């Protein structure tokens, strides 16, 4: 995995660099070593909105009260300008193929953030990219001083739920915070 650093955001030349999670390029199944993870840019908004909505359609999870109908899905870059929030996109061959983020959702317990909008395009699913995005988000949460990560999800997203379990997320009985996503009916938490 090759990660692109903050230089990509400031407009400086972006060169593959080795950062925090991986020490050398790693091939991700059929995607190859030229996968870059970086923070979202405004120019990524349309691609991520399409990936999110198409993913929910693919899994039969188009419901009112979900990210599918959330107007913020079309302007993720602006949303993730908030303090202690991060949204990462994965690029393959210079094309956005997935993303995930953390957000300090209003009303959550102290030191808790929410894992949000974690979706990968159909062509990139099943290749380990979701795991890498999740690891990057958990690392960011820890670096921001959060001690818990909360998730709202849906039973249709079985593959994601299985991955969350592998990473130590457990079901909790009720929703927390004010995400505005009343269409999600499964809730999970991980202590970092």
CB 139 within 8 A of CB 20: yes
Kindly state the average pLDDT of the residues 156-172. 96
State the Cα–Cα distance between residues 60 and 158, nearest whole angstrom.
11
pLDDT at residue 108 greater than cutoff 50: yes
Mean of pLDDT over the chain: 86
Q: How far is Cα 173 from Cα 64, in angstroms, rounded to an integer?
A: 21
Distance CA 88, CA 97 (A): 11
pLDDT in tens, 90-100: 998 889 999 99
The radius of gyration of the chain from alpha carbons, rounded to an integer in Å, stands at: 16
Indicate if the pLDDT at residue 106 is higher than 80: yes
pLDDT band at 35 (very low <50, low <70, confident <90, very high): confident
For 61-78, write each residue's pLDDT tens digit. 999 999 999 999 999 999
Decide if pLDDT at 14 tops 60: no
* Cβ contact 149:118 at 8 Å: no
- Residue 53, exposed/middle/buried by CB under 10 A (0-12, 13-18, 19+)? middle
Q: Name the more confident of 181 and 116.
A: 116
Over residues 81-92, the pLDDT tens digits come to: 999 999 999 998
Q: Could you give the CA distance from residue 117 to residue 88 in angstroms, rounded to a whole number? A: 10
Q: With 90 as the cut, is the pLDDT of residue 32 above it? A: no
The whole-number average pLDDT for the span 141-168 is 97
H-type helices in 13-166, by residue range?
Answer: 45-58, 76-79, 129-143, 158-166
| Domains defined along the chain, listed by start | 42-86+100-191 (3.40.630.30)
- Please state the pTM of the whole predicted model: 0.83
**CB atoms near residue 28 (< 10 Å):** 19
């Amino acid at each position: 995995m090759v990660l692109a650093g903050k230089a990509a955001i400031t407009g400086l030349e972006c060169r593959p660099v080795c950062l925090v999670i991986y020490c050398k390029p790693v091939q991700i199944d059929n995607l190859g070593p030229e996968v870059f993870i970086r923070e979202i840019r405004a120019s990524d908004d349309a691609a991520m909105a399409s990936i999110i909505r198409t993913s929910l359609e693919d899994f039969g999870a188009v419901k009112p009260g979900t990210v599918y109908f959330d107007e913020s899905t079309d302007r993720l870059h602006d949303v993730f300008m908030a303090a202690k929030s991060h949204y990462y996109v994965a690029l393959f061959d210079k094309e956005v193929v997935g993303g995930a983020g953390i957000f300090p959702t209003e009303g959550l317990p102290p030191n808790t953030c929410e894992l949000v909008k974690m979706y990968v395009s159909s062509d990139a699913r099943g290749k380990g990219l979701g795991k890498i995005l999740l690891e990057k988000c958990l690392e960011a949460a820890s670096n921001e001083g959060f001690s818990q990560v909360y998730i709202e999800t849906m039973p249709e997203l079985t593959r994601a739920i299985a991955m969350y379990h592998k990473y130590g997320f457990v079901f909790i009985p009720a929703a927390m915070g004010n995400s505005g996503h009343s269409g999600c009916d499964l809730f999970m938490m991980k202590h970092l």
